[in-house]
Chain A
Amino acid sequence: MTATTTAPAGVVEADRRAPNRNRKPLRPARVVLYVFLTVVALGWLAPLLLAVYASLRPYAETAKYGYFSLPHHLSLHYYSLAWSSGDMPKYFRNTLIIALPSVFLVLFFASFVAFSLSRVKIPGRKTLLIMFAAGNLLPPQVMVTPLYTAYTKIPLPTFLSSSETLYDSYLGVIAIHVAFQTGFCVFVLYNYMQTIPTELTEAAAVDGASLWRQYWQVILPLTRPALGALATLEFTWIYNDFLWALVLMTSGDKLPITSALNNLRGEFFTDYNLLAAGSVLVALPTLIVFFALQKQFVSGLTLGANKG
């Protein structure tokens, strides 16, 4: 394996193709390049920094001096206020209730499907693959109405859903997330598993391993990098989802955090800085996940680019 493909083909490291030529000398053209990149990068960050800045300043001050002014007073007061009066712990918990099972189920199902499509002689496997891949490209709006109509007609026991139907239940939102995201992950994992030689599973089969064991003990460990990458990607996408919760939930109490932010606007409208603090809090988890797991995150998008 070449050096480039052992590292996740992702946040592209300093080029290891030429290990001794890592840093070019600092010519004027390079200086210009650095300056340009730094300026653009700062501009790129500016909107988020602005929101953070606004969230640290009292409303009276910004109302008087505007948002683009030097601070007289900085505090984290709004964060604690947003957290408590915005009831954020509840909404974050709702998001976790939706996101964590969804991510787990998506990865579990998608990896098994990819495994079986790539290793088992199932009739129509190409069609299935296309079905999964294409399903992910369809616009969600075309599914909305029949979906929620069907949901309102599917009864659920009370312990699974307080609304007693699939509509307005966590299970319903989890189900659509799993269905929608599995397509993408099946496709990625299928390509990834193509790079794993069939000899391994053949050997295991010869040793008497069942299909399940081949999947669980042979293939799954080898797809670990892909799974890690997809886990971070999926968490971010499901966390940031806006549409499904909007359409499939009506109880204010059950909303995930991104939809709840909309709700909070009615309460906090006079205090924009409070809303800023709330928004930053909402953005925080995905930012944290992203910065902590950058490598996995980016390689998830580019899996398959550097196969072979």
Chain B
Amino acid sequence: MTSPPITAQAQTPAPQTTPVRGRRRLRRLSRRDIPVLVVLLGIPVLLDLALIWATTVASIGLSFTSYNGVTAIKWVGLRNYEQIFTIYLPFWTAVRNNLLWLGVLGLVATPLGLFFAVLLDKQIRFTRVYQSIFYMPVVLSLAVVGFIAQLIYSRDYGVLNSLLGRGSHPIDWLGDSKINIWAVLVAAVWRHAGYVMILYLAGLKAVDPALKEAAVIDGANERQTFFRVVFPTLRPINIIVVVITVIEALRAFDIVYAINSGRNGLELLSVLVTANIVGEASRIGFGSAIAVILLATSIGFVIAYLTQIIREDRQ
């Protein structure tokens, strides 16, 4: 799981003794510096171009073929896309699930994270302990989370069913395709909330106390202070959080794969890609088309994020 960092500016620009941004005097290079530059800059650039961008472009190209990895590549135009949209059974379930994932992360996990951040910003004891606990699920390997999910949700021996006392009519939390996505989403929220919390905590800390004090003097209560004064200044962080949430929702893969290989109600676009190209199937053209669909949905947000970066950079 990777994500972009937040680049929120300090809310109260402190006095600067040197112009740190905007006007940089970039040095010219001496002759002996050029090889160093070429090698040490060139390698990562090449790696990035080759392994990340070139492969992405290649996938886009492959999506218009019926390549199966072994025999020759055959151009089929939009046929893969047509099949995906019309007859590929798991596709729409996957789309639904990705949207659900997005909705739950955005409407439940993110506000929850913000809520935790606000609570923990209140100068209480043990704030570090609480933060660590809420953030802890983020560092857990998702394969482990998948196992824990089995432990809790299993129909025959899971803890949840025994807690609910449903001996004779156990609920099949993971096997019932009508409800298993929700069971998994609980785990997703468990992870995402802590992540969002940390981001907002940093932003809240940067809020100038003078602003809050002014609001209090003007007679605002706590909620008004927060929503009318503090929250608007968190705008840069909000944008980052939105982007992260979207990217995570679209990129979700590990936990459903660890639970049941992403089948039977737990389909996700990312899993469908791997099922078609990594499994026995080897329908590479077809799988690449699904990957391109996934890419297309992410692109909008990538651009939004980049716009934010560029805009900040110009300040």
Contacts and interface: CB of A to CB of B under 8 A. Distances in A.
Given A146-B58, A242-B143, A307 B9 contact: yes
Interface in B124-170: 124-125, 127-137, 139-144, 147-148, 150-152, 157-159, 162-163
B110 interface: no
A211 B29 contact: yes
B220 interface: no
A236 interface: yes
B5 interface: yes
B54 A146 contact: yes
Contact residues of B: prevailing secondary structure: helix
Given A247-B278, A305-B203, A11 B132 contact: yes
A272 B292 CA distance: 39
Interface residues of B, number: 123
Contacts of B171: none
Contacts of A240: 1, 139-142, 254
B206 interface: yes
A242 B253 contact: yes
B198 A298 contact: yes
A147 B53 CA distance: 11
A120 B29 contact: yes
A45 B29 CA distance: 54
A130 B312 CA distance: 13
Best-buried of B5, B29, B37 by chain A (most CB within 10 Å):
B5
Nearest to A138: B56
Contacts of A156: none
B80 interface: no
Interface string A288-304: 01110010011011111
A118 B24 contact: yes
B20 A195 contact: yes
B131 A286 contact: no
Contact residues of A: prevailing secondary structure: helix
Contacts of B148: 47-48, 50-51, 279
B305 interface: yes
B139 A13 contact: no
A216 to B, nearest CB: 10
A181 B270 CA distance: 19
A247 B59 CA distance: 15
B10 A306 contact: yes
Best-buried of B51, B130, B198, B274 by chain A (most CB within 10 Å):
B51
A215 B193 CA distance: 38
A82 interface: no
Contacts of B273: 141-142, 144
A180 interface: yes
Interface in B53-73: 53-56, 58-60, 62, 69
A199 B27 CA distance: 11
A24 B124 CA distance: 7
Nearest to A301: B198
Interface of A: 2, 4, 9-15, 17-18, 21-24, 30, 33-34, 36-37, 41, 44-45, 47-48, 50-51, 54, 62-63, 66-68, 109-110, 112-113, 116, 118-122, 126, 128, 130-147, 149-150, 175-176, 178-184, 186-188, 191, 194-195, 197-199, 201-202, 205, 210-212, 236-237, 239-240, 242-243, 246-247, 258-259, 261-262, 272, 275-276, 279-280, 282-283, 286-287, 289-291, 294, 297-298, 300-308
Given A141-B294, A143-B52, A261-B147, 12 more contacts: A10-B198, A11-B132, A41-B130, A47-B190, A130-B306, A137-B243, A138-B56, A187-B5, A211-B33, A237-B1, A240-B1, A305-B202
Interface of B: 1-10, 13-14, 16, 18, 20-21, 24-30, 32-33, 36-37, 40-41, 43-45, 47-56, 58-60, 62, 69, 119-125, 127-137, 139-144, 147-148, 150-152, 157-159, 162-163, 190, 194-195, 198-199, 201-203, 205-206, 209, 237, 243, 247, 250-251, 253-254, 257-258, 269-270, 273-274, 277-278, 284, 287-288, 290-292, 294-295, 298, 301-302, 305-306, 309-310, 313
